[in-house]
Amino acid sequence: MSHWKRWPDDELNTKFAEIEHPDRIVYPDLNDGSPLVLACDHSGEHATPEFRVVSFLVTTYKSLAEWDPLRSAVRKRHLTDGRRMSFKALNDALRVNAFSTFLNAASHLNGVLICVGVEKGFSFPKDQLPPRQHDWTPDTLNKLVEVCVFGGLMVNGLRTKGQDVHWITDDDSTVATDKAKADASNLLGGVLHKHPDEYPQLGVGVASQFDDDLRAEDLVAIPDLAAGAYSETLTTMGKENMPTSGTGPQGAKLFLQIKSSLINSWRYDSSKPLKHMNAVIRSFNGQMLVSFGAPFSRRLRPDESAEGAPTLNAKWRRALEADLKARDIDPNEILKTMGIDT
């Protein structure tokens, strides 16, 4: 039985509903009596990437409470100085050592982590937006609209009647001022579908402003890591090699940074409570083309050359080997399939 709620006359809602089949349930059941939590991140805004990536983690407050002891244990062991986890900052020994256990803790969240790659040049119409208080630049307004459209899409599909919504974001240009935050709340609230005779509450919070032992910061770090890896994946793949559906490009070498490969491998595992999916939005003959795929990590076939494969420094090698050994996997075999000399 699907847990996705269908809404008539909502094209995106229908497209996201149709990827499920009786033998492949993508969306988790988030009706646990607690508010829905939407944590988001945006990547790929600089000039080079062909796609912007917006990433969402949808879960519940009950699930956050169950995840919190696992998260706290990671901090007490590896991140006692209070440093934040993020894709860009994932280069020092402390964060690298915390990396695999941080992801493993996140896997216990009951929810879904989705990355949406939006082709640069594609934009949603803005002529029907509600009045705004903040003085928005075109790029930042476009970013806010994408966050609200896709964030609202996921909430509409997974929210149960009477379930409130708490949106948590990082320190971002879309919530840079009180007026911007009010506009963001108003826009997302206008996107949300409401069941008959209900008045759900929508709260908007900035992660750095929570006094919660960095729980909100760690929560938004999860879509941040996923967005960074997916952005690199799309950029490395290139539009010309991109399939319209499926799990990845067939026969194409896709050498990524070690951290991106490991994040993609972590997201490929569908056996944990936290589910994963990717989507790409493109323009095609004046229409919106939506393609779906599971997260993937491309490995070498036995007859393939490893030329161009990333190097593995001592920090990442220790972290990778410790993680693989903990799962009873031979590190040498995995390194060979990644094109890394052992």
**Closest-CA residue to 249 (of 257, 260, 238):** 238
pLDDT per residue of the chain (342 residues) written in tens, 0 to 9: 789 999 988 999 999 999 887 667 789 999 999 999 999 998 766 556 789 999 999 999 999 999 999 999 999 999 999 999 999 999 888 999 899 999 999 999 999 999 999 998 898 989 889 999 999 999 999 999 999 999 999 999 999 999 999 999 998 889 999 999 999 999 999 999 999 999 999 999 999 999 999 999 999 999 999 999 999 999 888 877 776 555 455 445 567 888 898 899 899 888 999 999 999 999 888 788 898 888 876 655 555 555 666 677 788 777 777 767 766 777 776 666 655 655
Bridge partner list, 289: 282
**Contacts of 122-125 spanning 24+ positions with Cβ under 8 A:** 122/281, 122/282, 122/283, 122/288, 124/149
Distance CA 3, CA 58 (A): 13
pTM: 0.91
Phi-psi region at 11: left, alpha or beta (left = phi > 0; alpha = psi -120 to 50): alpha
Helix (H) or strand (E) holding 279: strand 274-284
Edge-to-edge strands, sheet with 111-119: 202-206, 165-169, 36-43, 51-60, 111-119, 274-284, 287-293
- Enumerate residues 6+ apart whose C-beta is below 8 A from 135: none
76: three-class secondary structure by DSSP: helix
- Enumerate residues 6+ apart whose C-beta is below 8 A from 85: 79, 95, 98, 99, 102, 218, 221, 224, 225
Distance CA 12, CA 191 (A): 12
Q: Is 214 exposed, middle or buried (0-12, 13-18, 19+ CB in 10 A)?
A: buried
Query: What structural domains does the chain harbor?
Result: 11-298 (3.30.420.10), 303-342 (no CATH)
Asked if residues 144 and 186 have their Cβ atoms less than 8 Å apart, the reply is no
Asked if residues 293 and 246 have their Cβ atoms less than 8 Å apart, the reply is yes
Bridge partner list, 59: 37
Distance CA 184, CA 144 (A): 7
